[in-house]
């Protein structure tokens, strides 16, 4: 890839004028290599023509048409051109916002090629999101897959396409491979030059797939090579450890009103063993919602502190972080531990104070969101990082990489099995502890399905529980009323429930758009029992723990994914009294929605549900949960491309283990690539290598 001419500015390309160069720069595209490295975000399949009359299918129309007339509407700067066109099947209007120049390019009577999505509006078929090109002198319509690039304002698809094409013509064929030849052949991958050509201009879907696979492999390989070297380093280094006799752990256990379950005990023992070994721990603690992972994490923290270090507990949301902070404070402050909270909403003065205390070592445990691992947070002696339910790659990776010299013990906690793969991908290697059995005395949650028509019956049932002093959650898919969808929303339903259905009871409302202080006070009211009903969106999905809450009502349950439903249901059944979950669904759910609701009825086992989820959705769909975007991968999707990832992982670990310094002749290129573009910033390649 790294020919000198590829490092030249895009200006060397014929057709790259000043204003185009400026616009590309705005997107971070400065060199020819940058340009070739921005892969299309989509393709128009122009292998077949789709006539105007087929617009209603929602597919993009792709057809040859004749320009029948030019019309104008609006005045002054708003004056806008409409091209009236027709193909053999229908007549349509192209609304040319900011494209008055098309008047000259597309004279009346000329033949054009039209691509775009059309709608039926004001009695005509029309589109404002279309591409149109003149079909000069009997030119054939463009065929094949046409790349669609991410653009910035004022930059046209055609311009980028032409530049990429030029770049490929000028230097594309001489692009060099970065992967060792042995891998290319053993994995049957394309040479980089070919992969680049085909990813930009594939002649067919198959060609695109093969190119994508090769490029994704390459990307994941370098990612995993960095991870592998880091993991090997972790296994190699020896950290000086103070001694923990378990005194603090014993004192915590004495204060608990219950015994730890055997699974919790075993997990604690495994963790303590890791934490007294010579190398930094990398362990995943998995256990279904409500299985009691938090306590195990606290035990780990106590050992870190007793041996003279600090611990950080990272939660995915502010809400959950605050809840952890409250639980932890009530359990550990009496033992004399010094705790603090840190999140994005912590004000400057308190933040400075916390940072100073962390740096000087006058704090033992800090709890918070990913702010705990931002650039300016320096720990005196961070010995343990606990990561709870964090599925975002970017954040995980920041924790995993640590800062230079930092190599704390890592404990990752999760209630879903998918993050196991995720964790492996980011941390390289990972031991696993599992909590299988729930704390004793839990009654299984009784789950019922109901249609929207029967919602009043559900409300009646809830009213009885409220009268017994229990509390209830109501969850909705939307925060506020929407014109686009005929769905119940949290705001309107909070009104309705508090003024009519549960008049006399206090109803709280919480959703992501509230300020953090307001979220906190609403949550606090519910935790303390001052409000009886909490109306919410999925913000209550993760980890919220209010044992007196006895019923979870999810309205429009057909709209929620299986993982979310399971998490939501897990908010109740946390005490010893009987709890209920009502999944209220609108008439005529889709087949997938039906399957999800049925699965929720049939089991409460999170691992079974996760498998079912995979089956219903197919593995490619899970990607959204990982928010892979944070990882800055250009093409690969670590979840959707799990098979490629696993191959890349095996290869990378094999190479790193055999040649940790990557000094062997075939591997010097790898080392150079990692050095030049460490996938994840400084330190990613491991200072021990």
Which of 62, 212, 283, 293 is close enough to bind ligand ADP by CB under 6 A? 293
Tokens of 223: 């990612």
Residue 286 sits in the site that holds ligand ADP (CB under 6 A): no
Distance from C-alpha of 147 to C-alpha of 161, rounded to nearest angstrom: 7
- Residue 515 CB, shortest distance to ligand ADP, in Å, is 25
Output the residue with the shortest Cβ distance to Mg ion. 543
Which residues between 223 and 242 bind ligand ADP (CB under 6 A)? none
Distance from C-alpha of 417 to C-alpha of 389, rounded to nearest angstrom: 11
- Residue 619 CB, shortest distance to ligand ADP, in Å, is 25
Q: Which parts of 4-156 fold into alpha helices (H)?
A: 18-26, 32-37, 102-105
- Residue 430 CB, shortest distance to ligand ADP, in Å, is 18
- Residue 287 CB, shortest distance to ligand ADP, in Å, is 5
Q: Which does 545 bind (CB under 5 to 8 A by kind): ligand ADP, Mg ion, none?
A: ligand ADP
Report residue 112: phi and psi, to 5°. -135, 160
Select 436 or 448, whichever has its Cβ closest to ligand ADP: 436
- Residue 291 CB, shortest distance to ligand ADP, in Å, is 4
Task: Give the 3-state secondary structure of 557-624.
Answer: HHHCCHHHHHHHHCCCCCCCCCCEEEEEECCCCCHHHHHHHHHHHHCCCHHHHHHHHHHHHCHHHHHH
- Residue 543 CB, shortest distance to Mg ion, in Å, is 4
The mark string for 405-424 relative to ligand ADP (x by CB under 6 A, - otherwise) is ----------x---------
Select 543 or 686, whichever has its Cβ closest to Mg ion: 543
- The Cβ of residue 488 has, within 10 Å, a number of other Cβ atoms equal to 20
Could you tell me the end-to-end alpha-carbon distance of the chain, in angstroms, rounded to an integer? 25
Output the residue with the shortest Cβ distance to ligand ADP. 292
Which of 116, 147, 172, 292 is close enough to bind ligand ADP by CB under 6 A? 292
Assess contact for 87 and 36: CB atoms under 8 A. Answer: no
Residue identified by tokens 């079909």 is 135
Question: Is 78 strand, coil or helix?
Answer: helix
The mark string for 333-372 relative to ligand ADP (x by CB under 6 A, - otherwise) is ----------------------------------------
- Residue 614 CB, shortest distance to Mg ion, in Å, is 22
Stretch that binds ligand ADP, among 12-20, 23-31, 290-298, 421-429 (CB under 6 A): 290-298
- Residue 575 CB, shortest distance to ligand ADP, in Å, is 8
Which of 166, 261, 447, 625 is close enough to bind ligand ADP by CB under 6 A? 261
Which of 178, 516, 525, 545 is close enough to bind ligand ADP by CB under 6 A? 545
Select 97 or 258, whichever has its Cβ closest to ligand ADP: 258
DSSP string, 123-181: TEEEESSEEEEE-GGGPPPP-SEEEE----TT--HHHHHHHHHHHHHHHGGGPPP-S-H
Select 543 or 679, whichever has its Cβ closest to Mg ion: 543
Helix (H) or strand (E) holding 182: helix 181-186
Residues near 78 by beta carbon (within 8 Å), at least 6 away in sequence = none
Select 230 or 293, whichever has its Cβ closest to ligand ADP: 293
- Residue 330 CB, shortest distance to Mg ion, in Å, is 16
Helix (H) or strand (E) holding 474: strand 471-475
- What does DSSP say about strands 91-96 and 124-127: parallel, antiparallel, or unpaired? parallel
The mark string for 564-593 relative to ligand ADP (x by CB under 6 A, - otherwise) is ----------x-------------------
Stretch that binds ligand ADP, among 106-114, 210-218, 446-454, 543-551 (CB under 6 A): 543-551
Which of 291, 317, 471, 604 is close enough to bind ligand ADP by CB under 6 A? 291
- What does DSSP say about strands 446-451 and 471-475: parallel, antiparallel, or unpaired? unpaired
DSSP string, 332-366: HGGGT--EEEE-TTS-HHHHHHHHHHHHHT--SEE
Select 269 or 658, whichever has its Cβ closest to ligand ADP: 269
Residue 295 sits in the site that holds ligand ADP (CB under 6 A): yes
The mark string for 436-475 relative to ligand ADP (x by CB under 6 A, - otherwise) is ---x------------------------------------
Assess contact for 517 and 503: CB atoms under 8 A. Answer: no
Give me the residues paired with residue 111 across strands.
Answer: 66
Residue 265 sits in the site that holds ligand ADP (CB under 6 A): no
Distance from C-alpha of 627 to C-alpha of 645, rounded to nearest angstrom: 16
Q: Which does 369 bind (CB under 5 to 8 A by kind): ligand ADP, Mg ion, none?
A: none
Helix (H) or strand (E) holding 554: strand 549-555
Helix (H) or strand (E) holding 311: strand 310-314
Stretch that binds ligand ADP, among 53-61, 425-433, 542-550, 601-609 (CB under 6 A): 542-550
Q: What does the chain come to in residues?
A: 689
Question: If binding means CB under 6 A, how many residues of this protein chain bind ligand ADP?
Answer: 18
Residue 258 sits in the site that holds ligand ADP (CB under 6 A): yes
Which of 264, 390, 537, 579 is close enough to bind ligand ADP by CB under 6 A? 264
Select 330 or 454, whichever has its Cβ closest to ligand ADP: 330
Select 292 or 368, whichever has its Cβ closest to ligand ADP: 292
- Residue 473 CB, shortest distance to ligand ADP, in Å, is 16
Residue 269 sits in the site that holds ligand ADP (CB under 6 A): no
- Residue 439 CB, shortest distance to ligand ADP, in Å, is 3
Assess contact for 407 and 237: CB atoms under 8 A. Answer: yes
Stretch that binds ligand ADP, among 27-35, 222-230, 285-293, 619-627 (CB under 6 A): 285-293
Which of 394, 417, 529, 547 is close enough to bind ligand ADP by CB under 6 A? 547
Distance from C-alpha of 622 to C-alpha of 612, rounded to nearest angstrom: 12
- Residue 80 vs residues 86, 95, 103, 155, 610: alpha-carbon distances, Å: 20, 7, 10, 19, 52
- Residue 298 CB, shortest distance to Mg ion, in Å, is 12
Distance from C-alpha of 603 to C-alpha of 447, rounded to nearest angstrom: 10
Burial of residue 548 (number of CB atoms within 10 Å: 0-12, 13-18, 19+): middle
Residue 294 sits in the site that holds ligand ADP (CB under 6 A): yes
Which residues between 298 and 337 bind Mg ion (CB under 5 A)? none
Residue 260 sits in the site that holds ligand ADP (CB under 6 A): yes
Which residues between 508 and 567 bind Mg ion (CB under 5 A)? 543
List strands edge to edge, sheet with 130-134: 119-121, 124-127, 91-96, 80-86, 61-73, 111-116, 130-134
Which of 40, 147, 172, 287 is close enough to bind ligand ADP by CB under 6 A? 287
Select 423 or 645, whichever has its Cβ closest to ligand ADP: 423
Report residue 512: phi and psi, to 5°. -65, -20
Interface ranges with Mg ion (CB under 5 A): 543
| Site residues, ligand ADP (CB under 6 A) | 258, 260-261, 264, 287, 289-295, 415, 439, 543, 545, 547, 574
């Amino acid at each position: 890839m790294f020919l000198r001419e590829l490092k030249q500015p895009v200006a060397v390309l014929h057709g790259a004028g000043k204003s185009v160069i400026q616009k590309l720069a705005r997107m971070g595209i400065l060199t020819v290599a940058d340009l070739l490295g921005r892969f299309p975000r989509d393709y128009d399949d122009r292998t077949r023509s789709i006539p105007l009359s087929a617009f209603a299918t929602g597919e993009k129309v792709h057809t040859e048409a004749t320009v029948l007339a030019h019309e104008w509407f609006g005045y002054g700067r708003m004056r806008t051109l409409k091209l009236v066109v027709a193909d053999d099947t229908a007549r349509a209007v192209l609304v040319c916002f900011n494209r008055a120049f098309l008047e000259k390019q597309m004279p009346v009577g000329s033949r054009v090629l039209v691509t775009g999505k059309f709608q039926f509006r004001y009695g005509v078929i029309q589109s404002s999101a279309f591409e149109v090109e003149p079909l000069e002198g009997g030119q054939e319509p463009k065929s094949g897959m046409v790349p669609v690039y991410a653009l910035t304002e004022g930059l046209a698809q055609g311009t980028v396409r032409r530049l990429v094409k030029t770049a490929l013509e000028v230097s594309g064929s001489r692009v060099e491979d970065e992967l060792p030849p042995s891998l290319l052949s053993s994995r049957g991958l394309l040479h980089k030059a070919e992969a680049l050509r085909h990813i930009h201009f594939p002649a067919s879907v198959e060609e695109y797939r093969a190119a994508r696979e090769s490029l994704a492999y390459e990307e994941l390989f370098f990612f995993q090579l960095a991870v592998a070297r880091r993991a090997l380093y972790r296994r190699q280094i020896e950290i000086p450890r103070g001694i923990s006799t378990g005194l603090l752990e014993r004192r915590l256990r004495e204060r608990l009103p219950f015994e730890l379950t055997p699974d919790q005990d075993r997990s604690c023992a495994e963790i303590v063993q890791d934490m007294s070994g010579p190398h930094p721990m990398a362990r995943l603690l998995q256990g279904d919602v409500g299985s009691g992972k938090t306590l195990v994490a606290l035990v780990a923290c106590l050992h870190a502190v007793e041996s003279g270090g600090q611990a950080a507990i990272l939660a995915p949301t502010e809400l959950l972080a605050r809840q952890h902070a409250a639980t932890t404070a009530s359990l550990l402050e009496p033992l004399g531990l010094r705790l603090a909270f840190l999140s994005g909403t912590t004000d400057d003065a308190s933040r400075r104070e916390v940072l100073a205390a962390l740096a000087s070592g006058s704090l033992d445990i800090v709890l918070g969101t990913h702010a705990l691992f931002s650039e300016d947070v320096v720990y005196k002696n961070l010995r343990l990082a606990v990561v709870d339910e964090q599925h975002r790659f970017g954040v995980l990776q920041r924790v995993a990489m640590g800062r230079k010299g930092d190599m704390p013990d890592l404990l990752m906690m999760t209630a879903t099995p998918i993050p196991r793969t995720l964790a492996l991908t980011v941390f390289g290697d990972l031991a696993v502890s599992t909590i299988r059995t729930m704390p004793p005395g839990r009654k299984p949650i009784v789950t019922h399905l109901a249609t929207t028509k029967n919602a009043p019956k559900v409300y009646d049932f809830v009213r009885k529980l409220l009268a017994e002093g229990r509390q209830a959650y109501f969850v909705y898919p939307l925060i506020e009323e929407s014109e686009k969808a005929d769905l119940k929303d949290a705001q309107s339903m909070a009104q309705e429930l508090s003024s009519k259905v549960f008049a006399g009871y206090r109803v709280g409302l919480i959703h992501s758009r509230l300020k953090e202080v307001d979220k906190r006070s609403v949550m606090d009211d519910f935790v303390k029992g001052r409000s009886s009903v909490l109306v919410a969106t999925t913000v209550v999905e993760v980890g919220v723990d209010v044992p007196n809450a006895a019923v979870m009502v999810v309205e429009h349950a057909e709209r929620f994914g299986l993982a979310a439903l399971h998490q939501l249901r897990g908010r109740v059944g946390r005490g010893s009294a009987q709890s209920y979950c009502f999944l209220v669904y609108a008439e005529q759910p889709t087949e997938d929605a039906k399957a999800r609701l049925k699965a929720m009825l049939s089991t409460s086992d999170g691992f079974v549900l996760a498998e079912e989820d995979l089956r219903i959705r197919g593995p490619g769909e899970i990607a959204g949960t990982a928010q892979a975007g944070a990882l800055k991968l250009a093409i690969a999707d670590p979840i959707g491309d799990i098979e490629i990832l696993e191959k890349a992982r095996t290869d990378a670990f094999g190479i790193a283990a055999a040649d940790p310094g990557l000094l062997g002749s075939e591997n010097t290129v790898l080392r150079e690539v990692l050095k030049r573009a460490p996938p994840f910033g400084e330190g990613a390649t491991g200072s021990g290598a």
